[in-house]
Amino acid sequence: MSNRKAPDLTSYFSAAKQSQQLSEAEEEIQRLKIEIEELRAAGSNELETQLAALREQLESTAGILSIPIEQIQPNPEQPRQTFLSESVESMSRSLEKDGQLEPIILMRRGDLVIFDGERRWRSARALGWQNLHAVIISEPVALHRKALLTSLHREDLNPLDKAEAIVRELANNTDIDAADIPRILNTAVRRLNAQKRMSQVVELMTATEDVQQHGLADLALEEREQAVLGLLLDLQLNPASVDANIFPMLGLAPDLKAAIRESGLKGVHGMALAKLNGKNLGKTEDEALTIRVQVTQKVMAEKLSATKTRKLVNETIASQAKEDVKLSRNIKQVAKVTGNLQKLSSETLAAAEIDQLTQLQEILKQKLAEIEEIVKDTGEDRLV
């Protein structure tokens, strides 16, 4: 099987030096040099002006420019949608201490749009910097794919951003609705696993595109399944891993997605906490949400590991089940006593000893007062 190398992400960066603008700049420099020699020979006053232009072009050929931050815009197609405040603050400290060690990469799309370096841009803005070092490249063909490849190889890209970016890339390159893509992949993976043929797909990850397409054709996949698996392999992603670990993030409850994006909750913790739903807890979804938010806060405050988080989730579910059993037992006991009281006939009471009746009367008075108090409190709660 023919192999191919992993995407060379650094080529996107070096592409800046090879960009059309820079090539044009080099041509302009040569033209200016010729003109300057001609002006020197003619003793023209335009010489200084032309020399200034040459210096500017020479600075450009270094590939690094100082760009006013106000002229830089974030990329709406950026796969990374999460920029935690802690991460931005950390970068701000680094910029403040060591300065900007490497330029950000910008594309000229009317405005100067960030291709890579949005965290540095956010941090520099927070510090009140006026300029950033940058290289400018032509807008890459298939921009989202290149931005996605760049982001996929960074460990700090959270799985929720990753899942949404992969779905968007697949939807952009097929006629499949984004909402259907996780289901199509899941169906294909389950069938291939049942046929014990999933390993054949994984082996195709480092193959050439032609080999990948022939390999997928041999698996007799449906057209849409082959399209989804083919694009995942083209991104050098394991379809089984995407199905098991990444796409499930899309189905998380909104509170867990917010915790991932805003508070840095890990995806594996989010998946564990997702078990705290109405069905597993025997509660309404609103009641389950209250419990899940409390447990999520505890997980983040105590920085629990994934293993300890799963244990806490299981304990919470078990605890709720015990409470439900206790509640059910109490309800049955009240129903049983009510039934027994109804069975007490006048004849039975008339045949009882007077002391027995007096004791029963006192107990009923006491219980009736307690019942009236509970009914009153319950009614007030419902009015609130």
Q: Is residue 297 predicted with pLDDT exceeding 60?
A: yes
Phi–psi pair at 43, nearest 5 degrees: 65, 35
DSSP 246: I
Return the beta strands (E) in the chain as ranges: 65-68, 72-73, 104-109, 111-116, 131-137
What does the pLDDT look like over 7-33, one tens digit per residue? 444 444 444 444 444 555 556 656 666
pLDDT at position 379, please? Answer: 64
Is 67 within 8 Å of 107 (Cβ atoms)? no
Mean pLDDT of the 75-88 span: 79
Find the mean pLDDT for residues 270-282.
Answer: 93
Q: Report residue 29 as tokens.
A: 């420099």
Query: What predicted TM-score, i.e. pTM, was given to this entire model?
Result: 0.58
Tokens of 48: 């200084």
pLDDT the model gives residue 224: 94
* Residue 34 pLDDT exceeds 70: no
Type and span of the H or E element at 104: strand 104-109
Dump pLDDT digits (tens) for 153-192: 665 678 898 899 899 889 988 989 999 999 999 999 999 9
Q: Which residue has the higher pLDDT, 224 or 321?
A: 224
194 pLDDT above the threshold of 60: yes
Dihedral pair phi/psi, residue 64, rounded to 5°: -120, 125
Q: Among 321, 278, 320, 269, which residue's Cα sits nearest to residue 297?
A: 269
In this predicted structure, the answer to whether residue 62 has a pLDDT above a threshold of 60 is: no
Q: For 187-214, what is the mean pLDDT? A: 90
> What stretch of H or E contains 72?
strand 72-73
Token pair belonging to 310: 């799963």
Q: Determine the pLDDT at residue 102.
A: 79
Q: Distance between CA atoms of 310 and 189, rounded to whole angstroms?
A: 26
- Going by C-alpha positions, the residue among 87, 77, 254 that lies closest to residue 155 is 87
Pairing of strands 72-73, 104-109: unpaired
Confirm if 88 and 167 have CB atoms less than 8 A apart: no
Which pLDDT tens digit goes with each residue over 218-275?
888 999 999 999 999 988 889 999 999 999 999 999 999 999 988 889 999 999 999 9
| Token pair 């029963």: residue | 360
- Listed in sequence order, the DSSP H helices in 153-304 are 159-172, 181-194, 198-203, 209-217, 223-234, 239-241, 254-263, 267-273, 278-281, 285-301
Interval 327-349 mean pLDDT:
83
pLDDT of the residue at 30: 63
Q: How far is CA 309 from the centre of its chain?
A: 19
Q: What's the pLDDT score for residue 61?
A: 55
- pLDDT above 90 covers a percentage of the chain that reads 33
At 213 the pLDDT is 87
Average pLDDT for residues 91-96, to the nearest whole number? 90
Q: Is the pLDDT of residue 111 over 60?
A: yes
Q: What integer is the mean pLDDT of 187-211?
A: 90
What pairing do the DSSP bridges indicate for beta strands 104-109 and 131-137? Answer: parallel
Q: Is the Cβ–Cβ distance between 192 and 225 less than 8 Å?
A: no
Per-residue pLDDT, 10: 42
pLDDT interval class at 85 (50, 70, 90): confident
Q: Is residue 55 over pLDDT 60?
A: no
- Give the C-alpha distances (Å, rounded to integers) separating 214 from 204, 211, 220, 370: 10, 5, 11, 78
In degrees, rounded to 5, the angle at the alpha carbon of residue 20 between the alpha carbons of residues 14 and 24 is 120
Q: Which amino acid is at 246?
A: I
Q: What is the pLDDT of residues 364-381, one digit of tens each?
A: 999 888 888 888 877 665
